[in-house]
Structure 1
Amino acid sequence: MTTTAGRGDATPGLVARSSTTLVRFARDQPVSVIVSAVLVLVAVLSGSVVRGPSDALRDLIGAGVDDRSSAHAWIATLGSVLFSGSLPELVTTVIAVLVLVGAAERRIGWQRTIVAYLATGVVATVIGVAVQAIGIGLGEVWALTVAYDTTLHPFTPALGTIMAASAFAGPLWRRRIRLIGFASITTFLLYDGHPSGLYALAGAAAGLLLGRIMRPTDRHVERPWTRSSHHEARVLLSTLVAITALGPVVTLLTRSPIGALAPLGELFGSALPLRHTAALCRFQADTDCTRDLALGGLHGPGTIALSLLPLLTLLVCASLIRRGRRLAVRVAAIVNALLAVLAAVYYGILPLTAQTTPALPGHLVERLFLALLSVVAPLSVAVVLVVFLHHFTVRTPRVVARQFGWTVGSTFVALVVFYVSTGYLGRDRFTPAISFPGLLLSAPERFIPVGFLGLHRLGPVPDDGPLRVVFESVGPVFWLVVIAALLVATSRSTTQGTTVRARGDVDRILRRGVTGALSHMATWEGNSYWFTHDGQAAVAYRVIGNTAITTGDPLCSADRTADVILEFARWCDDHGLSPVFYSVRDEIAPVFRDLGWALLPVGEETVLHPATFTMKGKKWQDVRSSINRAEKLDVRAEWTTYGALRPAITQQIDDISEQWVAEKDLPELGFTLGGLDELMDRDVALMLAVDSSDRVLAVTSWLPSYRDGEVIGRTLDFMRRRPDSMNGVMEFVIASAALRGRDDGLEFLSLSGAPLATADGSGGAASQTERLLGFLARVLEPAYGFQSLLTFKQKFQPEFVPLVMAYPDPLELPTIGTALARAYLPELSVRQVPKLLRQTR
């Protein structure tokens, strides 16, 4: 009964939470919600939800120049932004409005959003119709082709609105919105070619101009962090390569594409007879029909894969180009050059050798222009990539690059040999029959999309099942090997790493004096180092994937902090890494705000001041009791180092640590939490609790902080206790360390920070960023007790110093969260993941 009631109570709670979320959503972006409702209402009232407006209604409200004899008819075309052509288009439009218009509304307010939505829709319609009318008057083929079309373009005002709002965004988001927006629109316009792309382009341009007009003039960032010129080139070239990959897909998915690059896109399609056409040949016996039957059987996964895998290769290259991988630039240039050659062969040579000429729209001059454009477009991309190769500084080691080339080359040769030898054994099962020279000459065709060959140039085709599998599979296998080898090779690109000399230089910088109590963690194994040109400042970081996570504050004096952060960020950018400053003190947060970065609290450092340390008052009752208990049980505190300990004591410390790890059946945390290896550092002090029989009850380690070679502070790191030790043993050890720090004249004693924990222990995350790290905290808390550790440290009435994470790109938060999890749990096995997740319930 209890379970049933619980479930019954949960349902109203879920409904209430959902209702609250919807109400909050509508309150935050009312314009997008109202516009979405209007679009749906218009579709329902006009009966155009499923199949779009009727022909009569479409002729009335569709944008176009045909049959517009009155002013009312022209005004009616403004309704083209309110109607969708089908149910999927309606759903997509509503989503676009909620996402794009909603984002704009939160940025620029509802008043400006209304103005942007209405203005860009009207302006785009007027400009689009005017361009079509001018084109018809000049006799331009594209304009004449679409002269009788009526266009619905409900996406246009949404695109125009987000473009207007981009003027109010920071440099990163402003560039990203405009780049992705115009790249997507241009792709559709070139490879699809229907008027809706023209209207979208006009609306986006109008939004861009409107944003400049509406933008306030007093916006100023004192020290903006702008990405380096290398990064700008990478983003643009990555987008350019992505367009060459996605553009043909747009053509293949579009009914009757008429864009300027549609002829190039159509070459990736299949030139084979349709299945039902080939099936008719079963009842005929002539040679041509027999060949059609064989060709029709090639409509399968292999043919489709061979058409798409070169484009997938370009998409992979585009992703790697964005991260600065030079090898990916070379591969993308080679693939684009190959596409240019194939297009030149198809449109330049095939017409001279085939019985039929490849069909292109328009007059002779325009046909020549389109054919030339299909060759020049990929060739231009290849040339641009080569010209701007110097922007890609992330080099693949020479030996790895040679391995990549050898892998691709040997795979090609092996597949050719396999195809020729297999085909020769079954040469009588080809239509028509094929000879050994014919097999050898046709082998390269197996690696080229069928559309580039032309139906009449496709060589003999096997009519046997197993032989056909070989015929279709060698090409896709080759392209898959290219993709896999490229990913493996680029993952081994070189970056600045750790050397013995680098660690010595870091130690020298630390002893001179730097900011941050966690600075000694920079010396731990697993860190890499970046140095300023003068070698007087450094940053310790760890590369996980493509994220460079720093270990605390930059290692420099306070007056150089801003410059060091900026220089390191640019260095990361040049090397295809995303910089993340993790567990840095909140007092340097203004530096990141000036750079336009996002900030997120990730913990709180607890700091004691030994000079004023006292244990008077009721709040110290637990600590005083632990000290009194230790005196009664003859437990003493020992201040020492690991190297000075007797083997019997070090063995006990090892046993305590191993037992702690074994009880959890989970790996020991790393990154900002030290283990036994870090204990052995000669500069690290230990405070032990030892009983009268020399049995170690608890152990803590204390990292040094220097100024001019002198230790001015200590930071708590390693904490372990024997399970059967006295109650309050940790309170006793830490209090003893504080008293020792007072005797040594230390300026501070840091109890370190509890990762992903805050003093108020709140779990109410207000943003997506906080929810991301909040999830990581909930996963780790039951096993490792970060929040309970912070609660324990509060017994010592410390000063709380907030620790934050700073990062430049909010879109990389999922990657950052994954990188942090891998940093803290580098040895987490697949078997341990379910156990860790179960503890969060």
Structure 2
Amino acid sequence: MLLLFVVAAFLRGRPGTMQLRPLEGVLSVAATLVLVGATERLIGRRKAVRAYVAVAIVSVVVGIAIRVLVTSTFGSTASPTYRLSGFPLYAPAVGSILVASAFASALWRRRIRLLVLASALVFVLFEGSFGGLVTLVAAVTGLLVGIALRSRGTTRRRAWVRSSQHEARVLASSLVAISAAGPFLAVLSRTPVGPLAPLGALFRNSLPNRSLSRACAGFREHGLSAVHSACTPSRALDGLHTPGTALVGFLPLVVLFLAAFFIRRGRRPAVLVAIVVNVVLGVASGVAAITAPIPTGAAARYGALHVLLSVVSASVPLGVAAFLIVLLPHLARRDAVGGGRPDRPNGRAALTPAGAVLFSGAALVAAYVVAGSVAPEVFVPAVGLDGLIGTGILRLLPVGFIGIRHVGSVPTHGLPRILFENIGWAFWVVAILALVVACRERTRGRASSTERESLDRILKKGVSGNLAFMATWDGNEIWYSPSGRSAVAYRRVGDVAVTCGDPLATEEDAPGVVAEFALWCDDQGLLPVFYSVRAALLPVFQRMAWYDLPVGEETVLRPRTFSMQGKKWQDVRSSMNRASKAGVTALWSTYAELGSATARQIHEISEQWMSDKGLPEMGFTLGGLDELQDCDVALMLAIDDDGRVLAVTSWLPSYRDGRVIGWTLDFMRRRTDSMNGVMEFLIASAALKAQEDDLEFLSLSAAPLASSLGADSTAPVDATDRVLSFLGSALEPAYGFQSLFTFKKKFQPDYEQLIMAYPDPIDLPRIGAALGRAYLPDLTARQIPKLLRSLR
């Protein structure tokens, strides 16, 4: 959408003509067909046509009113684009897609509205043409019509839909990219008249034009160089019309585009850079607008408008920065192998890229100052040491940021001239490279190739426990035994190290690995907690005089003896028969093997599921969209005759000697309008597939903090049980762990108890808090009351 606006601005004819350029017309028609086609798919042909016609009528009427208002108010001084430009062909199509967005899923509704409205608004604010304003009117009209139509079709108010962490990154990335495209759009436009055009002007080449320089050259030939006082500075500045000068204007925008790219991947340095750059843009825009001469005399009536535009010009980038600050806890992905706290490197790693930028800036300015001190005679006018330092610092910024009046003394030739022309773009290139390095550092934090190879070697050799593959997930740190044959995956929450299941070791090595890891944690000042480990390790912890308690039960199927015969399997058999009659099939695949359309449906299903939750998406031992994309993770999908994905499950592998011996269920999502029993169909299909492959087990995993004992258990309850019972009951209304556990009982599984082992009961408050933060790392203070209310 924004690309369409940029092309339209670039192709727009000279003012004073209503002629539509052929390429612009072709692009407008193509955009109309695409947008109307998408609208038709969402709301049907009749409604799409009605929406298109209604939006077209409103936008034309409002557009005519705007044109009359502008021309009657400003007369001949009004911009030609408002007096003579035609109506954009694609505007009604833009409005119609926003009408249809009200009937899209939560994922696409949010994306369509943000991208279309933000693109149209940026186009108006920066380029300010009549066509852009009409398009914005059409977009707002479509939004309001869609909301009204949706409200008529429902009997209850629609609550605000919270975005998942993954979608928050997508939206923030899009917003940063759009905000960076605004100044770029204003620079490309021939006649920008938008209220934020001054912000775009900061990136323009504001150096004297060559005609003035040529005039000064003529004066000098006739001995009249003193006729124009600007001749000498203009001749010195004339040579700055170079690619390097142009780069200094565009490279800050490149930094923003690059930051948007890395924000989508959850890199905290990119978020911080985007915040800093937008704050600088907002402050610079405000200062430039406020310090600009205010019209006097006949134009004094525009003084209030000038103040208003100054506020608007500064508010947009500052608003983007504020938005990123609010979303900062949701934008950074958690580190993986060898990681640590959420996407937060150690002090040395964090300072290295920033230090490189500061050092390069200081070095470039110092080189310029030294060169200028050696040859001061080349500067016009003469300059001292303080002037050299000030000029060198200002040369790191685009000329538009500081104004042509504040460029200072200009060298005419020699090494000072070379440095004067090039230190600006060199500094920004270093800044870009530093950002890439800082964000790639976080990528290495996910697991370097060597670390992942070591972990894969241990996993594929064969380890105890069916949850071992969770060690590869983001947020986990890996401790390796001195022998290198075993490891422990754990989550560090404050000074508590909570393991993600059994140690990654063979049955014979596991006891020794447990003891070694506990000693290492003690040396590091960490509290070791073995969470969700098999009860087979109880003797090990008893020998260590540790305490233990059950935290769940893993449900395991045995494919070799799997059968759906008998009355207890009636629900599962009914689900299989219902799927067969409805033409629903099961697809066993991996994420990489799926087509882009199928992958998008998985994201849509997940976002739809998250929209019904009032709390953040959980992590730790519960995987999400990022985890199912691993090439070793298998997917089982339910797909109908139309290729529509109804539900999806993901399965984590367990190995022995490099061969898969079993799968463990992780990700489970279904469409709200899918057939009843679709999940029973998928799990039964996975069991039949495991039976066909002669696997040893199929684990349905364990619902955290849930047990087959249930609420009616008469087992003795101590303080520890009450801590975990509190967590389980608090999260049950939102996440349904006990309900999920009850659902898995339909498959008549074997139960394997999972326990938590810890060294001292006095640490239970810390352990309970650490578990809560591990499962809900993104829980905000505003969401805590909702969590507590769910206990009632």
Q: TM-score, normalised by structure 2?
A: 0.54
- After superposition, the Cα gap between the structure-2 partners of 1:445 and 1:542, relative to the gap in structure 1 and judged at 3 Å, is farther
The structure 2 residue matched to 1:451, chosen from 382, 393, 400, is 400
Alignment-derived partner of residue 357 in structure 2: 408
- Where does residue 466 of structure 2 map in the other structure? 510
Write out aligned runs for 1:821-840 (5 A): none
Q: Measured at CA, do residues 54 and 185 of structure 1 come closer, stay the same or move farther in structure 2, by a change above 3 Å?
A: closer
Report SS of the residue matched to 2:128: coil
Distance in 1 of aligned mates of 2:15 and 2:411? 48
Alpha-carbon distance, 1:91 to partner: 2.3
Q: 1:396 aligns with which of 322, 331, 344?
A: 344
String of CA shifts for 1:457-504, please: whole Å, max 9, x gaps. Answer: 211222226543321211111111111111221222245998989969
Contact 1:307-1:449 within 8 A present in 2 as well = yes
Q: 1:253 to 1:301 in 2, by over 3 A?
A: same
How much does 1:448 deviate? 0.9
Q: 1:755-834 to 2 correspondence within 5 Å?
A: none
| Structure 2 segments unaligned to the other structure (5+ residues) | 1-10, 334-342, 471-484, 492-499, 502-530, 533-550, 556-588, 593-608, 666-688, 696-792
Residue from 329, 340, 346 that aligns with 2:271: 329
Specify the alignment match of 1:379 in structure 2. Answer: 318
- 1:313: Cα distance to partner? 0.8
Which residue of the partner structure matches residue 638 of structure 2? Answer: 589
Matched to 1:93, the amino acid is S
Q: How far 1:360 moved relative to its partner? A: 10
2:27 paired with 1:92: yes
Q: Distance in 1 between matches of 2:33 and 2:101?
A: 16
CA contact (8 A) 1:396 1:492 kept: no
What one-letter code is carried by the residue in structure 2 that aligns with 1:365? A
Equivalent residues in 2 for 1:622-771 (5 A)?
680=657, 703=661, 748=691, 750=693
Cα deviation for residue 373 of structure 1 reads 3.0
Alignment check: 8 A CA contact 1:183 1:243 kept: yes
Residue in structure 2 matched with residue 293 of structure 1 by the alignment: 235
**Separation of aligned partners in 1, 2:15 and 2:81:** 19
Name the counterpart of 1:433.
382
Distance 1:334 1:306, change over 3 A: same
Contact kept in structure 2, 1:423 and 1:439, CA below 8 Å: yes
1:218 Cα deviation after fit: 8.4
Which residue number corresponds to residue 563 of structure 2? Answer: none
Aligned 1:172-571 pairs, distance under 5 A: 172-212=107-147, 228-231=163-166, 233-285=168-220, 286=225, 288-348=230-290, 363-394=302-333, 395-399=343-347, 400-464=349-413, 467-493=416-442, 494=445, 507-510=463-466, 571=619
| Identical positions, percent | 33
Change (3 A) 1:598 1:376: same
Classify the secondary structure of the residue corresponding to 1:309. helix
- Asked whether the 8 Å contact 1:188–1:247 carries over to 2, the reply is yes
CA distance in 1, matches of 2:486, 2:290: 61
For the 8 Å contact 1:396–1:489, the answer to whether it is kept is no
Relative distance call for 1:500 and 1:135 in structure 2 (3 A) is same
Tell me: CA distance 1:219–1:316, structure 2 relative to 1, closer, same or farther (3 Å). Answer: farther
Give, in whole Å, the separation in 2 of the partners of 1:121 and 1:528.
59
Residues 325 and 576, structure 1, Cα contact 8 Å, conserved in 2: no
Q: Closer, same or farther in 2 for the Cα pair 1:102/1:309, shift >3 Å?
A: same
Match of 1:171 in 2: 106
Cα distance between partner residues in 1 of 2:40 and 2:422: 51
Asked if the contact 1:306–1:476 (Cα under 8 Å) also holds between the matched residues in 2, the reply is yes
**Contact preservation (8 Å) 1:527, 1:542:** no
Aligned partners of 2:378 and 2:80: how far apart in 1? 46
Aligned residue pairs: how many?
A: 510
**Alpha-carbon distance between aligned partners in 1 of 2:154 and 2:275, rounded to the nearest angstrom:** 41
The 3 A distance-change label for structure 1 pair 146 and 512 is closer
- The letter of the residue matching 2:268 is R
Listed as ranges, the gaps of 5+ residues in structure 1 are: 1-49, 59-83, 515-523, 545-561, 606-670, 682-700, 708-745, 753-841
| Secondary structure class of the residue paired with 2:419 | helix
Query: Is the counterpart of residue 153 in structure 1 residue 88 in structure 2?
Result: yes
The residue identity in structure 1 corresponding to 2:431 is V
AA of the residue aligned to 1:363:
Y
Note if contact 2:91-2:139 (Cα within 8 Å) is conserved in structure 1.
Answer: yes
- Opposite residue 306 of structure 2, the aligned amino acid is R
Deviations 1:593-618 (A, max 9, x none): 99x9688999xx9xxxxxxxxxxxxx
Q: Is the 8 A contact 2:639 2:646 kept in 1?
A: no
Task: Map residues 12-27 of structure 1 onto 2, 5 A cutoff.
Answer: none
**Equivalent-residue separation in structure 2 for 1:257 and 1:384 (angstroms):** 27
Work out which of the two has the higher radius of gyration on C-alpha atoms and give 1 or 2: 1
Task: Tell me how far 1:706 sits from its aligned partner.
Answer: 11
Q: Does the CA contact (< 8 Å) of 2:70 and 2:82 recur in 1?
A: no
Q: CA deviation at 1:248?
A: 1.0
SS of 2:629 mapped into structure 1? strand
Q: Which residue of 2 aligns with 1:819?
A: none
SS of residue paired to 2:405: coil
- Per the alignment, in what secondary structure is the counterpart of residue 314 of structure 2? helix
Q: Give the CA deviation at 1:315.
A: 1.5
- Measured against aligned partners, the alpha-carbon deviations of 1:362-420 in whole angstroms (never above 9, x if no partner) come to 61111122223333433343344334433333323123211122111111111111221
Q: Secondary structure at the match of 1:589?
A: strand
Equivalent position to 2:629, from 560, 580, 598: 580
2:276 partner amino acid? I
The letter of the residue matching 1:371 is S
Change (3 A) 1:262 1:409: same
- Cα distance between partner residues in 1 of 2:76 and 2:625: 45
1:311 and 1:507 map into 2 onto residues whose CA distance is 50
The 3 A distance-change label for structure 1 pair 182 and 579 is: farther
1:184-241, CA deviations, whole angstroms, 9 ceiling, x for partnerless residues? 1000111111222221112122323444566699899xxx9x8745445444443443
Q: Matches of 2:690 and 2:170 in 1, distance apart?
A: 48
Deviation at 1:527, TM superposition (A): 13
Quote the Cα distance in structure 2 between the aligned partners of 1:706 and 1:123: 56
Change (3 A) 1:432 1:115: same
- Cα deviation for residue 269 of structure 1 reads 0.7
1:305 deviation in Å? 0.4
- Is the Cα–Cα contact under 8 Å of residues 324 and 393 in structure 1 kept in the other structure? yes
Is the CA contact 2:87–2:134 (under 8 Å) kept in the aligned structure 1? no
Task: Give the number of the structure with larger relative contact order, counting CA–CA contacts within 8 Å between residues 6 or more apart.
Answer: 2
Question: CA shift at 1:147, angstroms?
Answer: 6.2
Q: What's the CA shift string for 1:107-137, capped at 9, x where partnerless?
A: 4444333323222211111123335556778
Structure 1 pair 274/488, CA: closer, same or farther in 2 (3 Å)?
same
Q: Summarize the Cα distance change of 1:542–1:346 in structure 2 as closer, same or farther, 3 Å threshold.
A: farther
Deviates more, 1:182-191 or 1:431-440: 431-440
Alignment correspondent of 1:729? none
